[in-house]
A and B are shown apart, each in its own frame.
Chain A
């Protein structure tokens, strides 16, 4: 695969992960997640056959669909998080710190993992870093689920360079779907509790 496409995929995951950090709307967040899986597909496709990387893409879109369908069924939407830190400038600043960390870490990862290219390393590390960052600043079930999916997405990109077993890919897909189902369950649970509280 031409390296330009891989750098384009890195740009996609960089833009999506930063945008997810800044937006609050669940529709945009899920659309971003779907785009993120597209970037992941392009990166994994450089390591795996098309069929297997397509399966990853479809799994990713299914997770976004599960979360989207659950969220759209609510009459009352969950309250926005009011916790620290809220400022967009601050979020951009810490995102920049993560990117600097990724740039400094990528050459070492290149030596650990054989057969991996620089853009793939960047793509994986960016997603892991930004996912971790987001996990540290949110407790909303939807955003936690998306962040965990982001971290796993980054890990799967790196792991694809060392493991191309179909069973591992299938189990990781099951975990992604399971995580989306758990996220949906947590969303429904918090919604039910909220409706119950308001009706009392």
Chain B
């Protein structure tokens, strides 16, 4: 058996089986358990080494060939598999509370499998095609059959589809650049096409308009899942480009452009977050800020630190968006819309939901002692050493998001006098949200968990991680 069959094939087959299960609860439990199993398997079993089980010797091959192309999952990819399936398992387990597991688990498995496949495929240009397939699969996840597709969803489809041609063409030009690196025109053309492709894929400024719109139109939990997995894999895909091409890795201009894109994405999204009057849109802007942070982390002068921070940023993003979107889903089940006028004073009847929204928004804004703080602080320090104005703009963006979170807090706790206090959340909702908030604090208070990731990091990217 090969690693791609285990981590890419089995989830895809499981998706079809899970689709047939009608129970929301069982779909969530089985899907979450399988994702958890795949995550634990990724750190416990070595790839391409013989393992003795009694008298039986097993070796998991890293390569799977299909039509002359190869999917390669080697031991260096095990950290990514562990992280992604670990995160996905928690999303799947909570999906029954969000009452979306029947849609999220099967489609989520296919999307995860395709996106991880995009990191594993050789030649790597096929990645753009697999990402596009994942985008198409995400459409039924975001809009159910009985809901009119909104403008945000249409923009999501358009922007993500446009990324594919640019990345495919840039890949062709990059192979030309590898052959003749002195050809400046070719380098510029490849750079422009690659930049446009990633700008669409990662939804950076000014192509992020669909994110808040989708958060307003779609089921919050589905939107949260899409906003967690697509940019995360997109960033890793971007890092693999940097790792592969020496001239990209050694280009000072590229890092300057990335720094500019990262800071403008972060600052504009942070400022816009201040003025939002919709809890879903606020989450969308927080996710854009998180993408800006990851791009900025990539540009730090020390490549090892940069890659380390990019990986560490995956955790607060996933945890923050997971807790936030679950809380918004429960909130949406209790109020007609997520507009600030409608959710006013809901902290009295939905205290766990309110605490989760505030915890997640503050964590993504880097407030001490939540999970986002230690990593964002390190990033801020690193950027400040590169350029003081950059650090100031970073601070403005994060302050904007924080003000957005504070406004949400004020709206949630402002209720008319003598309002009766009672918690209308179910026990399941309380436990999941409570665990989420505890995790936000715990990861922030005990940042030593990051060692688990950082120790394995040098193996992930051959050249960048070192």
- Where the two chains meet, the residues of A that have a C-beta atom closer than 8 Å to any C-beta of B are 112, 135, 139, 141, 144, 148, 151-152, 155, 158-159, 162-163, 166-168, 171-172, 174-175, 178-179, 181-182, 185-186, 188-190, 192-194, 196
Contact = CB atoms under 8 A, between A and B. Distances in A.
Contact of A168 (B129, B143, B146, B149): B129
Shortest 4 CB-CB contacts between residues of A and residues of B: A193-B148, A155-B165, A178-B136, A171-B129
Contact of B169 (A141, A159, A182): A159
A186 B133 CA distance: 16
B189 A112 contact: yes
B275 to A, nearest CB: 24
B143 to A, nearest CB: 6
Interface string B116-150: 00000000001001001100100110011111110
A158 B172 CA distance: 12
A166 to B, nearest CB: 7
A159 B149 contact: no
Interface in B247-305: none
Contacts of A185: 139-140, 145
B129 A179 contact: no
Interface core residue of B67, B157, B189 (most chain A CB under 10 Å): B157
Given A163-B172, A175-B136, A189 B69 contact: no
Contacts of B67: 166-167
Interface in B148-168: 148-149, 151, 153-154, 157-158, 161-162, 164-165, 168
B330 to A, nearest CB: 24
A168 B147 contact: no
Given A166-B67, A186-B154, A193-B146, 9 more contacts: A144-B154, A155-B168, A167-B68, A175-B129, A182-B140, A189-B143, A189-B146, A189-B148, A193-B148
A148 B149 contact: no
A166 B168 CA distance: 15
A196 B146 contact: yes
A52 to B, nearest CB: 14
Contacts of B350: none
A158 B158 CA distance: 20
Contacts, number: 79
Given A159-B169, A171-B126, A186 B149 contact: yes
Contacts of B408: none
A112 B173 contact: yes
Contacts of B154: 139, 141, 144, 186
B151 A139 contact: yes
Contact of A189 (B133, B136, B145): B145
23 contacts: A141-B149, A144-B158, A148-B157, A148-B161, A155-B168, A159-B165, A167-B67, A167-B126, A168-B126, A174-B133, A175-B133, A175-B136, A175-B164, A178-B136, A182-B136, A186-B149, A189-B143, A189-B144, A189-B146, A189-B149, A192-B145, A193-B146, A193-B147
A167 B158 CA distance: 24
B138 to A, nearest CB: 10
A155 B143 CA distance: 28
A193 B162 CA distance: 28
B162 A151 contact: yes
Interface string B183-220: 00000010000000000000000000000000000000
A188 B140 CA distance: 11
A159 B148 CA distance: 35
Contacts of A171: 126, 129, 133
A53 to B, nearest CB: 19
B146 A192 contact: yes
A172 B129 contact: yes
Contacts of A188: 145
Given A159-B168, A166-B67, A175-B129, A194 B148 contact: yes
A144 B158 CA distance: 8
A65 B55 CA distance: 57
Contacts of A144: 154, 157-158
A179 B161 contact: yes
Contact of B139 (A172, A182, A193): A182
Contacts of A174: 133
Contacts of B168: 155, 159, 163
A98 to B, nearest CB: 16
A167 B148 CA distance: 35
A144 B149 CA distance: 12
Contact of B132 (A151, A163, A175, A194): A175
A39 to B, nearest CB: 18
A171 B164 CA distance: 12
Contacts of A163: 168, 172
A188 B147 CA distance: 9
B251 to A, nearest CB: 20
A151 B172 CA distance: 19
A182 B157 contact: yes
Nearest to A147: B158
Which of B67, B69, B153, B165 has the largest number of chain A CB atoms within 10 A? Answer: B165
A152 B189 CA distance: 20
Nearest to B169: A159
Contacts of A139: 151, 154
A126 to B, nearest CB: 15
Given A112-B173, A159-B169, A178-B136, A186 B143 contact: yes
B177 to A, nearest CB: 12
B158 A186 contact: no
Contact of A151 (B143, B149, B165, B173): B165
Contacts of B151: 139
A196 B173 CA distance: 50
B158 A148 contact: yes
